[in-house]
Each structure stands twice: as structure tokens, then as C-alpha cells.
């Protein structure tokens, strides 16, 4: 398989790089590069700039804003966004609920939700994990009972990212408690302004308000907000999670961090020289770079094979990308933290306006928060232990 870019792909890569550096505000890209949590306004700004260009939802059907691109063009855009330190389009909208509605939703749902979702006029959050159902998601207990033209929802979701900003939440709910646990789940769209919904913040170890608990107390949801068939939600969830896992690899992001680590190592004084003069450090960086190149080739193979698969069937190879990609993200954040050395110890709050000024170089202040925040990437989207089980079953027949 020839994985070299064609002349057209190289031209598109250059177009992406030029557009992102010209149109995305430099102050936003600088905050992203420093590892700061973006504000809601920053996320919306980047999302809408990309959507106006036709680049927010290129993988959607063309009637809803998609592009007739090859899989490699999609890959080039994704990597370009990551390498330019641009906030990507909101994943809950463009990579999760949007493709589910486009694939399994009815005509009315597509008309109501897809244009607004593409332009982030609706901000979505994901209601999957629960206190007793994380990696074993099929054990979820939030229930939805039919009452005439409505479902009545009761239960709790947790680790709900950016729910404090969300207009709607897409939820997995149990609609049949007698069926096998994977077969009694439905996919429901819920307006966050509905009475009975409570959002409570969870402050993470880096000091940020990124995730939340969401409680449902007799929340009445119109039955027309059911996506697809009742009790078939597990199939839609597997489709959604497969899309999420491919994106979690974030090859471009890890490339950018490695490039930054190389530059900082050349500038960091150690004794009579720099950190770059340390052979052990260069060996460590080279090992990460080799692993990253292997991941990139694997992802390009997955992308190249994407057009050969049924659009509604999850690709088990996405589990390989998820495992390797998430572990490399952790390795690159650890590398940057170690370059900062003792300057990483007085950990700066992840929010703008920290109470304490950075000690040492300003770039070092965020290395510890970013390192701690990236502990989660091997868990969300399905823990890496679960991904290994998927690989064992899909490829090894175990």
C-alpha cells in the first residue's frame, strides 16, 4: 500500500495550514498550545470558522454539510487542526451525535438537529457513563419508562464533559429491564432545559471544571426524541464509540508536542550544556517518535480502508488506534513535564487568572496540569483494557 500523499493531497495540506494560521485567532492557538482549557467562546469561534469553510462536518452526508472527499483528505484536515493548535469542532456534535442522527435518525430529526449541530447552534453533551457503569457501560441503570407520548427518565450520569455549557444531551437509557443488558438500551435526545435536570460540577485534579454529574428526576422527554428503534441503542452506541476512538489517536497533537519538546530541550540549560546534549533524553524522545510514526502509518491504513467498510459498522481497528494513541499522548505530556523539571512542581491552576504567578518559564506552568489531565485519555471512549478485549475477539478469535 502506497501511503505517500498525492500532489492533490499535498496541495490540500498546504491549503489547510495556510487557512488555519490565517483565520484562527493567534491568541486562541497560543492558549491551546500552552495547554489551557479553552473557554466556551473560544470553542464556538473556532467551530464556526471551520463550519463556514465547510470543514466542521466534512464526514457527514453532503446534504447536511459534508464533503465528497477521500478518507485521506479527512485525515489531512484532522492532523492539520491538531498540529496548528486549533480547537477542533466540538466532538460531541460532529463526531458523536451528528453521525448517529445522520445514519439512524428519522427525517424530522435530521431536519431539526443536523444544521444546528453542524454550526454549534446546539451544544451537545454525552450522557453515557454512570457511577456504576463506566467501562462496563451496558450495566447502566438510568431508566426511561414510556408514558403516553413521553418517556419519563430517572437516573444519573457522571463525567459528563462540558455539560455546564450544553443545550442538549444524548443519553443511553434503559427501556427494558427484563432483556439482556445490551438489548434493553435506547438512545434518547434530551433538552437540558427540561424540568428535573440538575447539573453538578466535578473539579478535576488540574483544578478545572471540565466534567459534571447530571441528575434526572422524572424528566419528561417526547417520544419523538428516540433515535432509531427502542432497545437498539447499544448498536448506535458502538457506532458512535468507534468514531470517537479513531479521533482519540490524535497523531497531530502528539507530533506537535514532540516538536515542542525538541525545541525546549535545546533551550533548557543543564550544567554546561542543554538537555538536548543528554544522550538518554534523545533516546527517550526517539523511542516515542518511532512509536508515533508506527501509529501514524496504522491510522493512515485505517483511513485508506474506511471506504471499503459499511458506513454503519464499527471498525475494530479503531481500538488499536485508541490504545496506542492515548498512551503516546500520555508519554508526550510526561516528557514535557520532565523537561520543565522543578518548575512543574508549583502547579498553576488550569483556568486563566490563576491565584499564583508561574515560577520559572511561563510555558512550564501548565505542564503538570496537562500531564494530570491526560491520565484520563486511556479511560474515556472505552478503557484500554476493554479495547484489548475487543481486539482479542475481533482479530484473534479469543
Active site residues: 244
Q: How far, in Å, CA of 243 to CA of 314, rounded?
A: 8
Q: Is 292 left (phi over 0), alpha (psi -120 to 50) or beta?
A: alpha
Contact call for residues 153 and 171 (beta carbons, < 8 A): yes
Contacts for 169 with CB less than 8 Å, ≥ 6 apart: 124, 125, 126, 127, 157, 160, 163, 189, 190, 192, 214
C-alpha angle 131-133-134 in degrees, rounded to nearest 5:
90
In terms of Cα–Cα distance, which of 385, 234, 249 is closest to 317? 249
- Partnered with residue 232 across adjacent β-strands are none
3-state secondary structure string, 259-303?
HHHHHHHHHCEECCEEHHHCHHHHHHHHHHHHHHHHHHHHHHHHH
Q: How far, in Å, CA of 365 to CA of 282, rounded?
A: 23
- Residues, the chain: 398
Q: How far, in Å, CA of 175 to CA of 191, rounded?
A: 19
Contact call for residues 219 and 154 (beta carbons, < 8 A): yes
- DSSP secondary structure, 50-66, as one string: HHHHT-SSTTS-GGGT-
CB atoms within 10 A of CB 86: 24
Q: How far, in Å, CA of 125 to CA of 57, rounded?
A: 17
Cell digits for 354? 490563576
Amino acid at each position: 500500500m502506497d501511503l505517500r500523499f498525492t500532489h492533490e493531497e499535498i496541495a490540500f495540506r498546504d491549503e489547510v495550514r495556510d487557512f488555519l494560521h490565517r483565520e484562527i485567532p493567534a491568541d486562541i492557538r497560543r492558549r491551546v498550545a500552552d495547554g489551557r482549557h479553552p473557554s466556551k467562546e473560544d470553542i464556538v469561534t473556532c467551530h464556526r470558522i471551520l463550519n463556514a469553510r465547510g470543514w466542521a462536518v466534512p464526514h457527514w452526508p453532503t446534504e447536511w454539510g459534508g464533503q465528497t472527499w477521500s478518507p485521506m483528505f479527512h485525515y489531512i484536515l484532522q492532523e492539520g487542526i491538531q498540529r496548528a493548535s486549533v480547537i477542533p469542532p466540538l466532538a460531541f456534535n460532529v463526531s458523536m451525535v451528528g453521525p448517529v442522527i445522520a445514519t439512524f435518525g428519522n427525517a424530522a430529526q435530521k431536519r431539526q438537529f443536523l444544521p444546528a449541530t453542524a454550526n454549534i447552534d446546539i451544544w451537545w453533551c454525552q450522557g453515557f457513563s454512570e457511577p456504576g457503569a463506566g467501562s462496563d457501560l451496558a450495566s447502566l441503570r438510568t431508566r426511561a419508562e414510556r408514558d403516553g407520548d413521553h418517556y419519563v427518565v430517572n437516573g444519573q450520569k457522571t463525567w459528563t464533559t462540558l455539560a455546564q455549557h450544553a443545550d442538549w444531551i444524548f443519553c443511553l437509557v434503559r427501556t427494558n429491564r427484563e432483556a439482556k443488558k445490551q438489548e434493553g438500551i435506547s438512545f434518547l435526545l434530551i433538552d437540558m432545559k427540561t424540568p428535573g435536570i440538575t447539573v453538578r460540577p466535578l473539579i478535576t485534579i488540574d483544578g478545572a471544571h471540565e466534567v459534571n454529574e447530571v441528575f434526572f428526576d422524572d424528566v419528561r422527554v417526547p417520544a419523538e426524541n428516540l433515535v432509531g428503534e427502542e432497545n437498539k441503542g447499544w448498536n448506535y452506541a458502538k457506532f458512535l464509540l468507534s468514531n470517537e476512538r479513531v479521533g482519540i489517536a490524535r497523531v497531530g497533537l502528539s507530533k506537535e508536542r514532540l516538536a515542542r519538546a525538541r525545541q525546549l530541550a535545546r533551550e533548557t540549560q543543564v550544567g554546561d550544556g542543554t538537555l538536548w546534549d543528554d544522550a538518554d533524553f534523545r533516546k527517550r524522545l526517539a523511542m516515542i517518535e518511532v512509536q508515533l510514526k508506527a501509529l501514524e502509518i496504522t491510522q493512515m491504513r485505517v483511513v485508506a480502508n474506511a471506504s471499503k467498510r459499511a458506513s454503519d459498522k464499527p471498525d475494530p481497528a479503531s481500538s488499536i488506534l485508541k490504545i496506542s494513541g492515548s498512551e503516546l499522548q500520555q508519554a508526550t505530556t510526561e516528557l514535557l513535564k520532565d523537561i520543565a523539571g522543578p518548575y512543574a512542581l508549583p502547579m498553576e491552576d488550569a483556568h486563566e487568572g490563576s491565584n499564583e504567578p508561574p515560577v520559572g518559564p511561563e510555558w512550564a506552568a501548565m505542564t503538570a496540569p496537562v500531564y494530570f489531565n491526560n491520565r484520563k485519555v486511556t479511560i474515556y471512549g472505552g478503557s484500554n483494557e476493554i479495547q484489548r478485549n475487543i481486539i482479542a475477539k475481533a482479530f484473534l478469535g479469543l
